[in-house]
Structure 1
Amino acid sequence: MGSVCSAIGNGLNAIIAAIANLLMAIVGAFTMIIVTIVDVILDILCCRCGGPRRRTGRRTYRHYNPYYGY
């Protein structure tokens, strides 16, 4: 009788563990999606705010340098 109860207990334990692992996988995937979306949004915002400065229309003139020939 003890082995039957032990087998039933182990079976229930395996079923509960499988359900818990499934829920953990779903939560992990959901979290990864949310983090990825936030990272993409922050990358877009940082590229616009902290990226290279816009060209103001100023031109740089190269002066003749006799040592380098330009």
Structure 2
Amino acid sequence: MGSIFSAIGRGINAIISAIAGVIMTIVGAITTVIVTIFDVIVDIICCRCGSRRSGSRYSRRRAGRGGGAATY
């Protein structure tokens, strides 16, 4: 009789483990998508900040302030 309950317990354990594996896979995929979207947004923001600093407007302003020669 004990072996029957043991087999039932192992079957239930296998089913619960399979369901937990599926849930962990879904959560991992959702997390990956959210992190990827966040990385893209941060890359876009940093790209815009970097283009402002290295752009022509920024270099003209810095050249006009200092005592260095202006390049045209």
Could you state the TM-score of these two structures normalised by the residue count of structure 2?
0.74
| Structure (1 or 2) with the larger CA radius of gyration | 1
1:24 maps to: 24
Q: Deviations over 1:18-60 (max 9, x none)?
A: 000100000000000000000000000000013451124752x
State how far apart, in whole Å, the 2-side matches of 1:50 and 1:29 are. Answer: 31
> Any runs of at least 4 consecutive aligned residues in structure 1 with deviations exceeding 3 A, and if so which?
none
More helix by share: 2
Instruction: Please say if 1:5 is aligned against 2:5.
Output: yes
Could you state the TM-score of these two structures normalised by the residue count of structure 1?
0.76
Q: How many residues align?
A: 59
* Identity over aligned pairs, percent: 59
Q: CA RMSD in A?
A: 1.5
